[in-house]
Amino acid sequence: GAEVAYRIAVASGKPEVIPTGAINLALTREALGDVEGAVEAYQIVIATDHTELAPIAEFNLATLLEKQGDLAG
């Protein structure tokens, strides 16, 4: 399914697909209630320093952590 495709994109090693695959993986994991998986995937996006997606991942990660009561980060 979609999650498998996102994981393949992340594991591809191709810088042009890793950020998109990782952010979609993060959103999928978050929707499924897998906080740890979502955090890990958001961190992958952030590490790519992608111009458009890294800031979105930073915001989404902060929002997710806040929902979990982790205000200090």
- Mean pLDDT over 49-73 rounds to 91
Q: What is the pLDDT of residues 11-52, one digit of tens each?
A: 999 999 999 999 999 999 999 999 999 999 999 999 999 999
Q: With bands split at pLDDT 50, 70 and 90, how would you rate the model's confidence at 69?
A: confident
What are the b/e assignments for 30-43, b being 16+ CB within 10 Å? beeeeeebbbebbe
Q: With contact defined as beta carbons under 8 Å apart, do 7 and 25 qualify?
A: yes
